[in-house]
Amino acid sequence: MTRIVLLGYMGAGKTTVGRELAKKLNLMFYDLDWYIESRFKKKVSQIFAEEGEEGFRKKERNMLHEVAEFEDVIISLGGGTPCFFDNMEYINQQAETIYLKGTPEILYEHLMMAKGKRPLLEGKSPEELKEYIKTSLESREPFYCQAKHIFNIELLGNGDKINKCVEDICTMLNIP
């Protein structure tokens, strides 16, 4: 049974890489944010707006416990998932965990490329965003670094780079 969980900061490429890794390994792919949105029929940003971050984190934890039971899957977590409750300990018991580690500069570039709705980043100027990434990454890294594997990501600017990243992750995990 294969269960691989990708975690890391917003913009690390968890969803992009997870989707491709699942394709390559012929496994189902689950993105925890998408799973939450489909289960509650609400966007993550709407849950934040209605229930605050605290409400979102409770839902996130409950949904984590659902997806982390699935078998033969690749799962990508939300950027904050490992940093609340006992989520990191739990997910390490359930899965092969990989921290997709990016420098603040790479994360910033990725976030600028794909400006999805991220409630924690909304309304920030580029300078504020850079500063926020640096400081919040520092406080989150002790959680992320509990993952079983750490994989340094580069700028994932195109399909070739994403494929290379997927290949390198397979090599790291000894998957032929």
Q: How far is the CB of 120 from ligand S3P (least distance, A)?
A: 5
The answer to whether 78 contacts ligand S3P (rule: CB under 6 A) is yes
The answer to whether 57 contacts ligand S3P (rule: CB under 6 A) is no
- Tell me the C-alpha to C-alpha distance, in Å, between residue 65 and each of 61, 90, 109: 6, 9, 32
The answer to whether 165 contacts ligand S3P (rule: CB under 6 A) is no
- Map the footprint of ligand S3P across residues 91-110, applying CB under 6 A: none
Q: How far is the CB of 44 from ligand S3P (least distance, A)?
A: 5
The answer to whether 42 contacts ligand S3P (rule: CB under 6 A) is no
CA 121 to chain centre: 15
The answer to whether 82 contacts ligand S3P (rule: CB under 6 A) is no
Give the β-pairing of 149-152 and 96-101.
Answer: parallel
C-alpha–C-alpha distance, residues 44 and 62, integer Å: 14
C-alpha–C-alpha distance, residues 55 and 58, integer Å: 5
99 forms bridges with which residues in the sheet? 7, 150
Q: Which one among 13, 18, 79, 104 touches ligand S3P, defined by CB under 6 A?
A: 79
The answer to whether 64 contacts ligand S3P (rule: CB under 6 A) is no
* Helix or strand (DSSP H, E) at 149: strand 149-152
Nearer to ligand S3P by C-beta: 116 or 159? 116
Q: How far is the CB of 118 from ligand S3P (least distance, A)?
A: 5
Q: Which one among 6, 22, 27, 33 touches ligand S3P, defined by CB under 6 A?
A: 33
C-alpha–C-alpha distance, residues 41 and 96, integer Å: 29
Q: Which of 85, 70, 91 is nearest to 7 (CA)?
A: 91
The answer to whether 120 contacts ligand S3P (rule: CB under 6 A) is yes
Q: Under the rule (CB under 6 A), what is the footprint of ligand S3P?
A: 10, 14, 33, 44, 78-80, 118-120
